[in-house]
Chains A and B, each alone.
Chain A
Amino acid sequence: MGSARREPGADASSRVRMPVPEIAVPSRTLFALRLALAALAAPLAAAPVHAVAQTQTAEGPLVSTEWLEKNLGAKNLRIVEVSVEPGIYERGHIPGAQNVVWHTDLVETVSRDIAGPEKFAALVRRLGIERDSTVVLYGDNNNWFAAWGAWVFAQYGLVDNVKLLDGGRKKWEAEKRGLDTRPAEVAASSFPVTPVSNAQRARLADVLAVARKERDEKIVDIRSPDEFSGKIIAPAGFQELAVRAGHIPGSVNVPWAKAVNPDGTIKSPSELKALYAEVGIDGSKPVITSCRIGERSSHTWFVLSRILGYPVRNYDGSWTEYGNTVGVPVTNLAGTVWGGK
């Protein structure tokens, strides 16, 4: 399929097929059908370029692996991999994808903050992303850091046109779709330096107000039950710690991976609604997502805000800020208290 997607006719064929995307036809038959349709549509393809470009835009916050493979050559599409494991992008990525290293590209490396306006604009220009580009993010670990990337992008106004590849790397690989080892070459964009918007971000003062019941909002803590209860401060092997264990008073615990199916795809909106409704989150009140350093919680931020449409902010300070802060209330269910031996 890899070679077919570069033919101009193939784009036209996907246009023809777009309204009926879910037909269970054996892939060989489908391929033959697509080729036939491509041949038929080829003479017509030159004129309605704008129509083609429009139908290539996926609706909604997620794109399927199937959609992405069909649209790999689309002009206004930028594919970006944000993975945790070093070298995984270089050893094979989705054709045309560019690499973003989360711990250097998307953050300030000296102070603790997301990449500042200048740094972010430079990155986005390098990736060739314009304001109206469709950006598909994907990565390893069930899109964990890809979702974090989406949260950083959102703070610079890139919200609705930034999508996650449903299932991420895991599903793409499991379906044995093609990978490429050559770096993608795109023309730089002229993305302007944009001030950061705080609409997607909660700060310490916000969560403190909720903890002190001064504000009626919901906090979802997506860490493991043992971290939430205070039995452990962080999972083994993590360097970033807090001085106290436990959680922010009033928060509820829904580990982030509960929103994901075994194949890596995100659960259906109805399943997600039921999952969060169990702990009293139904979109009627603003929600704050929180974890240890604010990265895993971006996954839940994406699920709640982009898929369910709830009002959500991510608290990236998370437990490493809250649990280290002097004089804040803490709930510790496990009863582990500070002290000597």
Chain B
Amino acid sequence: MTSATGGATQAPGREVGRFAISVRAGVASLIALGLGLGAWRLSAEPGSTRLALSLTFGALFGFVLQRSRFCFFCLWRDLMDRGDPRGALGILAALAAGAAGYSVVLGAWLPDPSGTRLPPDAHIGPVGPILALAGAAFGAGMAISGSCISAHLYRLGEGSPTAPFALLGTALGFGLGFATWNPLYLASVSEAPVLWLPRHLGYVGNLGLTLALLAAIALPLLYRLRPADAPRSRPVDPLHAIFVERWPTWLGGLAVGAIGTLAYLRVGPLGVTAEIGGRTRQAAGSFGLLPERLEGLDAFRGCATLVRDALLTQNGAFVLALVLAAFAAALAAGQFRPAIPTGGQASRGLLGGLLLGWGAMTGLGCSVGTLLSGIMAGAVSGWVFAIAMFAGITVTLLAGRRLGLLPSAA
């Protein structure tokens, strides 16, 4: 993050932000230092090791998301509109690396997966029509607001005009989710089976099947990689490649898989909605807007929205560090471009966010908590959420464009 390099190797004529590179790199370094000091200080306090780790993993996750533009919606749009499979391959790389990593951890923690036990706090949720509905609503929310929740979080760090509205909408959507939870639980979720592949296939069988499925999806995509996408031959400045240029998505994917495994080993599965959901639940409860009881909710795995009274929770630290690290990364790269939101951005953000929040609450997690962390752990719920989510994006995007409500393909 030195100032000279970033400035010298910048592409000529490209908009890189309003401040000189030295100022941007300086502020970014200060944020990185602050996060480091925060983690160091927390790690010295008794009982705060996991908080310190959450902060560290959140910062790494935010940095990786921003640098590789790891965005579920963008990758799908790239594939649909431009036939560019690179983003999709990045997600598959994340799932493959994470599934392998999780298998190593799970095998140690629960040597015999065939019993009635589930591995501790892995995101393995109930599988049924409500999960599919939640995934589809989440996908629709992505298409309308332009991102999933994790991408809105890192875009908040990039100064996105839509992200604040989308995240506000997400909180409202969680409130809506709590309001509709009890009837959905009683009608369907309570009877939905919690399916965990290693219980039926063993760890080896599960990993084999997961990798085979991922390979089957990846193979046709690999054939669509164009020669133009091959690495350029001009000499690469390493600092520029790390801090300014967009990382190849597969590299981001491998990093996400590694962070997912390490986070599960030391703290818990990756997820970005527990804090948003928990705080919403707390606020809604204090305004008397919450049902007296949320039936069965706290017994499920996933991004738990259990109200905690701590000022800084693990997921809170994770999300805070994610946004700050993404801000620092965007600043250093010249990608921090705050803008005044237009009416359309605000309304699409709010409406999309509402669907994102409802979907993430009802699906017990989002594209990170249910999809990534679920598939990595061998949960059928992760796959079902993924299929429904991509279906939801496609239908909403096509319909929205036809009706002229969503921006057309660039």
Contact = CB atoms under 8 A, between A and B. Distances in A.
Contact of B108 (A86, A174, A183): A183
A91 B47 contact: no
Interface in B87-133: 108-111, 117, 119-121
B268 interface: yes
Nearest to B306: A237
Contact of B307 (A182, A183, A237): A237
A184 to B, nearest CB: 11
A183 B111 CA distance: 8
B307 A91 contact: no
A87 B108 contact: no
B120 A90 contact: yes
A170 to B, nearest CB: 7
Interface residues of A, number: 14
Contacts of B108: 181-183
Q: Describe A's contact surface by its main secondary structure.
A: loop
A174 B46 CA distance: 6
Contacts of A91: 265-267
B373 to A, nearest CB: 13
Interface string B298-329: 10000000110000000000000000000000
A170 B47 contact: yes
Nearest to A263: B46
A81 B306 CA distance: 24
Contacts of A90: 109-110, 119-120
Nearest to A181: B108
Nearest to B285: A236
Interface string A99-118: 00000100000000000000
Contacts of A181: 108-109, 265
Given A181-B108, A183-B109, A86 B47 contact: no
A337 B109 CA distance: 49
A127 B109 CA distance: 16
A173 interface: yes
A266 to B, nearest CB: 19
Interface in A139-177: 170, 173-174
A173 B268 contact: no
Q: Describe B's contact surface by its main secondary structure.
A: loop
A87 B307 contact: no
A174 B306 CA distance: 27
Contacts of A182: 108
A91 B49 CA distance: 12
A239 B111 CA distance: 32
Given A86-B121, A87-B120, A183-B111, A173 B46 contact: yes
A87 B47 contact: no
A334 to B, nearest CB: 22
A227 B213 CA distance: 54
A181 B265 CA distance: 9
Contact of A87 (B111, B117, B268, B298): B268
Nearest to B265: A91
A87 B267 CA distance: 9
A181 B110 CA distance: 11
A173 B265 CA distance: 17
Contacts of B110: 90
B120 A86 contact: yes
Contacts of A174: 46
Contacts of A239: 298
Interface in B4-56: 46-47
Contacts of A183: 108-109, 111
Contacts of A237: 306-307
A261 B119 CA distance: 34
A170 B267 CA distance: 17
Contacts of B266: 91
Interface string A181-194: 11100000000000
A180 to B, nearest CB: 10
Interface string B254-293: 0000000000011110000000000000000000000000
Quick one: which of B119, B120, B307 has the most chain A CB within 10 A? B120
A237 B306 CA distance: 9
B46 A87 contact: no
A183 B120 CA distance: 13
Contacts of B47: 170, 173
Interface of A: 86-87, 89-91, 104, 170, 173-174, 181-183, 237, 239
13 contacts: A86-B120, A89-B120, A90-B109, A90-B110, A90-B120, A104-B117, A170-B46, A170-B47, A181-B109, A181-B265, A182-B108, A183-B108, A237-B307
Q: Which 6 A-B pairs have the closest CB atoms?
A: A87-B120, A90-B109, A86-B120, A87-B121, A90-B120, A174-B46
Given A181-B108, A181-B109, A181-B265, 8 more contacts: A86-B121, A87-B120, A90-B109, A90-B110, A91-B265, A104-B117, A182-B108, A183-B109
